[in-house]
Structure 1
């Protein structure tokens, strides 16, 4: 979880570096699809970006500017410019440039390999890609009915429900300007403020932004209420997070003679009722992947149901930007664009190129995206991996050595970790703390618990004990960040994946720690910085979160240096004044 580590955030986004190359050039027949693609590749201009400030602004074009619901009319160029001005010349900006150069080099290498493929070889790749597409088509199952329910601006909406006055002002959920935003309400999003953005950048975008400290007890209570609704339609629904659920309504629709549209309307109405006014948006399709995409189409408080047929799906995907599909991040998107692919329809037409240049695993993923195939079944049915390595929370603040403040902050982080473990029904055997000094030195300590637990007081006491032991070694520490992590979860009593239920959690929501483990839509991607696992749909936002924290650290450090310099300057001026007064006194004497 160390945001100071220099990791390649896009390393596992794709595997294009493992590709096949062939020999000499032959002129292609430009009347065929592959012929036209081949001609485009052999005449393509070298990959490059603008120089100077323009390059810098473009470099951050997809960081914090990837639109969320409520950001449709945001001045993206203004957001880019503010981010660039706030980060230009910093080590992390240079690191982003390095990554950009590496991606450019990778694309140039791929294009060179593509130009080395002969016409005859392209024809072979086209035939093979057709065969793969036909084989994939044979697995298409349009009989399933999936809904994805996504709460609208969940944390912010919970705060607005508790304090209605916040509905009309721009508001972000964070401890303050020195923290990273957990989310922002729809008023703030109109200014370009969004989740995973550093507080100081959010303030520059929206000077009137109000910060509200996160209250996880409030969010977990609302999440529990909404889950009672989801379970009415699918007792084994998949909880992607506190504010998102994957609900298979195939059986429910058959037994009740209803449709996804009607079920979606019912769920939205019931969630609003049981939560006291919170809204959610629902997407529907015959697979989790399609339903997830659709859940973003009519936000907030809306629904979009894709007709569960092959024809409707292919028509829907024809003009859908590839970036809308989870699993396609900014680096992979740029690579696809360099080969003339902007939509899923483009991807399907040019699939032979990617079979030739990408690894089999990457091609299989891209083909599934292009055809709308995959994730029709539950993770346990399709053999997807499950498991989570840890739950952690941390916060950056103005450097302080105030023991009471640091104890309170660590208690807050430990409480949040324990509550999240309870919401996921996880019991940890190990607790670790992370302390960052004002000098940016990082201290990490851990302890093994007496037994697996998610008890709040046990985790809080363990974290406090670790920090107090560290404090007792020497002088009081001046810290700018504290964090707590729970890990080594107990799996001994876990039911087989296909038997794991959420029924007991719903029957006794106040004793969640005693319930069975729920089946979750567990990830295919693990963050290299914090070792936490996430669904692919959350990858971009999570990486932006890490980047935001880096920017916030840089900003805070610069601010501290400026204040220190001003303090030294003032002290020198006062000393000079005192010396002058003494001289005048001696002269008079």
Structure 2
């Protein structure tokens, strides 16, 4: 059979770097050290026995339990905006195949056709043993193949015993074991249904429908800088290459070089533990300004191949080479990728690894298969892709972490082929969203994201620091994080309408609070006050969970903005006309005349678009601008399906309430309008600026109460009625 999945790329010996990737969503895995491994593969070399990319490439390492990070991370999904493993809800950039509901690491490995020693070792060290479950740092990293994994894990557990981290891991381990027991009970209960012919036929149809969406026409590249932070520091201080060195702090390491890995030191390990394992370890502080500058140099090179390339942190990028290859009449992407990697070395003296595949998910997998300084090509042929995916461990899928991995192993599911085989029962015991995500991934179906217009979901940043209950320090950190998000929003020409604040206490408990804003914005003057309110709510929640005797000490703060919209889209669709500055809405008919027509026009346009798209067979994701926003209260949205009468009724009530408040309290800077309240309860006039409203868990319901004020019932009025002269 032809060699369709060829690892490629030879490393210049003088430029070989540690291959630890510094992404926050995961730790890159299975990088190849220069000495041959037991499978006979040297770093950057070829293995004839791996011609089709099916052989085992090692077992999955475990996700970081925490990260000392300051860089921005853009949606698929940032370590930490969730509670599961401290990594759930990791938001990388723009990838529908990442989900907040899934564990945020992306580690894993290909499985061989027979039981591999790595898999047996994984079971032995991560299985039912309490220590293995909690402290399962993997040694399957480049430069760590000679490390005694069991000994290192035991040592880490010993050093951690009695700490808040250890106690938190014990709590989570017990909770996960109970969760597994409940899952087994559900499986026993649901097995008869899963084995029924109608249900199996239903799942078979669903798989067939997914298969019909497979797109092999795209050429996607995932490029990952090898051990980015460590490589930068070694480049600038060559003497570090021969010393055990890590980048980070005594609290948490972001990466480690090859010398340090010989002692079991690796990323996502507390620095003080690493120093116990390797007393000679040199810890270099993070230099994010330097990393950002080099990252921009790399991106400038990559834009020559794809102007719309997407970033996933400072060290990762996704490119679609389809258009470039067509414009240059090329059929083989491998020389192109080799060229861009050579240019990166020439410009930065740093190496990069790459994966080439028909979609982003598979490209991500492939980029890890020949690390460091190599590339791996998965040919866009149906049989080749299916065979490759069938051998893939579920842990390898972006968004599957150790908790999900353990749950799946409980059901006898390790590989993608196992998941598809057990899809009937899994569909009954997993949530619909989780099952859909995992099934699509297990089939090797991922997004190319250039073939659709799905928007970026969120941007976030977080920071770890020494545990403190100093409110001034919290506020300083919070202000810094909000400023970073403001800069990122402005540079990407996006606005946000939802803010989330996350905290982690000294006991490693995580809580978060979120709120929908009254308008789309990028300004710190809008974001910071809400962030402070949310911080207070999150601190109160985590304090209650910690026992409530005194305010909890915090060791991490994070901020995420979501519900993003491109500034150009906002202006094009006309919603910018509804984002009236505070004080601009006076409740007069003259102001209404300028805004209601915008509502009418935008709503009519939305209805036309909805009608034009209603014939589409596949449902589409809801666009945040599919709804016009009330120009008075900025709270209630008008969906395309809303009638003109309902819009008029709502706007009329808002204007009258605003006018009443203006007469009753002339100091009100921004009227608070009760538009979502129960028809039996009307909000009292505000006497001061309103606090941000909590988002309701139930759908907003507009009041249908008849308006008995002058002018008759609002139900009989029309939009044109608002265009009467102001003095009428």
TM over 0.5: yes
Residue 303 of structure 2 aligns to a residue in which SS? helix
Would you say the 8 A contact 1:452–1:490 is kept in 2? no
Deviations 1:561-580 (A, max 9, x none): xxxxxxxxxxxxxxxxxxxx
- CA offset at residue 324 of structure 1? 1.1
Which residue of structure 1 aligns with residue 432 of structure 2?
Answer: 360
Would you say the 8 A contact 2:230–2:255 is kept in 1? yes
Which residue of structure 1 aligns with residue 545 of structure 2?
Answer: none
Which residue of structure 2 aligns with residue 58 of structure 1?
Answer: 132
Residue 232 of structure 1 aligns to a residue in which SS? coil
| Corresponding residue to 1:391 among 452, 455, 461 | 461
Looking at structure 2, the residues matched to 141 and 300 of structure 1 have their Cα atoms a distance apart, in angstroms, of: 29
**Match status 1:140 vs 2:210:** no
Superposition pairs for residues 62-77 of structure 1, below 5 Å?
62=136, 64-65=137-138, 67-77=140-150
Which residue of structure 1 aligns with residue 288 of structure 2?
Answer: 216
**Match status 1:79 vs 2:152:** yes
Which residue of structure 2 aligns with residue 163 of structure 1?
Answer: 237
Deviations 1:76-95 (A, max 9, x none): 21221122102223344233
Which residue of structure 1 aligns with residue 176 of structure 2?
Answer: 103
| Corresponding residue to 1:381 among 435, 452, 462 | 452
Would you say the 8 A contact 1:59–1:97 is kept in 2? no
Looking at structure 1, the residues matched to 302 and 67 of structure 2 have their Cα atoms a distance apart, in angstroms, of: 36
Question: Structure 1's 369 and 2: CA in aligned 2 closer, same or farther, altered over 3 A?
Answer: closer
Residue 132 of structure 2 aligns to a residue in which SS? helix
- CA offset at residue 306 of structure 1? 0.9
Deviations 1:47-83 (A, max 9, x none): xx999x9934212243x43744443443221221122
Question: Structure 1's 416 and 487: CA in aligned 2 closer, same or farther, altered over 3 A?
Answer: closer
Residue 182 of structure 1 aligns to a residue in which SS? strand
Q: What is the aligned residue count?
A: 428
Question: Structure 1's 420 and 66: CA in aligned 2 closer, same or farther, altered over 3 A?
Answer: farther
Deviations 1:379-415 (A, max 9, x none): x825355222x43434339x9x9xxxx99x9999988
Residue 102 of structure 1 aligns to a residue in which SS? helix
| Corresponding residue to 1:309 among 374, 381, 384 | 381
Question: Structure 1's 394 and 309: CA in aligned 2 closer, same or farther, altered over 3 A?
Answer: same
User: Alpha carbon RMSD of aligned pairs, Å?
Assistant: 4.7
| Corresponding residue to 2:365 among 293, 298, 302 | 293
Question: Structure 1's 321 and 190: CA in aligned 2 closer, same or farther, altered over 3 A?
Answer: farther
- CA offset at residue 140 of structure 1? 0.3
Looking at structure 1, the residues matched to 504 and 84 of structure 2 have their Cα atoms a distance apart, in angstroms, of: 22
Structure 1 residue runs without a partner (length 5+): 17-48, 443-450, 464-479, 500-589
**Match status 1:253 vs 2:325:** yes
Would you say the 8 A contact 1:433–1:482 is kept in 2? no
Deviations 1:534-561 (A, max 9, x none): xxxxxxxxxxxxxxxxxxxxxxxxxxxx
Would you say the 8 A contact 1:393–1:414 is kept in 2? no
| Corresponding residue to 1:112 among 185, 200, 224 | 185
**Match status 1:205 vs 2:277:** yes
Superposition pairs for residues 294-443 of structure 1, below 5 Å?
294-378=366-450, 381=452, 383=454, 385-388=456-459, 390-396=460-466, 422=487, 425=491
Question: Structure 1's 173 and 436: CA in aligned 2 closer, same or farther, altered over 3 A?
Answer: same
Looking at structure 1, the residues matched to 357 and 316 of structure 2 have their Cα atoms a distance apart, in angstroms, of: 16
Deviations 1:281-320 (A, max 9, x none): 0011101000001111111111111111221111112222
Would you say the 8 A contact 1:65–1:76 is kept in 2? yes
In the superposition, the TM-score normalised over structure 1's length comes to 0.62
Looking at structure 1, the residues matched to 292 and 453 of structure 2 have their Cα atoms a distance apart, in angstroms, of: 30
Question: Structure 1's 95 and 439: CA in aligned 2 closer, same or farther, altered over 3 A?
Answer: closer
Superposition pairs for residues 485-504 of structure 1, below 5 Å?
494-496=567-569
Would you say the 8 A contact 2:502–2:559 is kept in 1? no
Looking at structure 2, the residues matched to 352 and 201 of structure 1 have their Cα atoms a distance apart, in angstroms, of: 44
- CA offset at residue 366 of structure 1? 1.6
- CA offset at residue 496 of structure 1? 3.5
Question: Structure 1's 66 and 127: CA in aligned 2 closer, same or farther, altered over 3 A?
Answer: farther
Looking at structure 2, the residues matched to 89 and 202 of structure 1 have their Cα atoms a distance apart, in angstroms, of: 17
Which residue of structure 1 aligns with residue 346 of structure 2?
Answer: 273
**Match status 1:235 vs 2:327:** no
Question: Structure 1's 188 and 133: CA in aligned 2 closer, same or farther, altered over 3 A?
Answer: same
Question: Structure 1's 453 and 278: CA in aligned 2 closer, same or farther, altered over 3 A?
Answer: farther
Which residue of structure 2 aligns with residue 264 of structure 1?
Answer: 337
In the superposition, the TM-score normalised over structure 2's length comes to 0.51
Question: Structure 1's 225 and 422: CA in aligned 2 closer, same or farther, altered over 3 A?
Answer: farther
- CA offset at residue 339 of structure 1? 1.2
Looking at structure 1, the residues matched to 392 and 314 of structure 2 have their Cα atoms a distance apart, in angstroms, of: 28
Would you say the 8 A contact 1:172–1:182 is kept in 2? yes
Question: Structure 1's 345 and 54: CA in aligned 2 closer, same or farther, altered over 3 A?
Answer: closer
Which residue of structure 1 aligns with residue 224 of structure 2?
Answer: 150
Deviates more, 1:231-240 or 1:85-94: 85-94
- CA offset at residue 434 of structure 1? 12
Would you say the 8 A contact 1:321–1:344 is kept in 2? yes
Which residue of structure 2 aligns with residue 122 of structure 1?
Answer: 195
Structure 2 residue runs without a partner (length 5+): 1-65, 69-79, 90-98, 103-122, 511-520, 533-552, 573-728
